[in-house]
Amino acid sequence: MLESLIKTGTFDSLGSRGALLKSIDKIVSLAQTAQQMKESGQTSMLDLWAKASPAFALDAEIRKGKDVSTKQNLGWERELLGVHFSSSPIDSLVSELPSYYQSKGFVSCGELSTDMANETVTIAGMVASVRHAYTRDRRPFIIASLEE
């Protein structure tokens, strides 16, 4: 469960997801030790520093590691939450849209509405699924689902 929380960005304020995942065993061990000391009434010098800065004891133990790619983070969010939470995968592609579309503007999938009926619009989105089908007279077409 802790791994899933890290992968979805719950602890991003404590460090990079890659470093936290790499240090997960140490983090759990530190938490167990702290709980045992609390239950037995023992304290340590780290406890005094931790009271001054709650994240100090944890920061001292987390290995600084290389973060994972944005693509990997978004993949974990999609897999575990069903949505992209920290950003949209198409954010990085918007700047790559041809200047024609940028000057004319484009509409995201979420901005489509019935008010746009009979208008020509350019949309930006990710293809979530594609289904190939045929008309009654055997002409091929596709049905695609888009998402942001």
Structural contact between residues 58 and 30, judged by C-beta atoms closer than 8 angstroms: yes
**In tens digits, what is the pLDDT along the chain, a chain of 148 residues?**
889 998 888 888 877 888 888 888 877 887 787 788 778 776 666 665 555 444 455 665 565 667 788 888 888 888 888 887 787 766 766 666 666 565 666 776 677 889 888 888 777 677 888 999 999 999 999 999 877 6
Structural contact between residues 9 and 77, judged by C-beta atoms closer than 8 angstroms: yes
Phi then psi dihedrals of residue 118, to 5 deg: 65, 15
pTM above 0.75, yes or no: no
In whole angstroms, give the CA distance from residue 87 to residue 80.
15
> How many CB atoms lie under 10 A from the CB of residue 86?
13
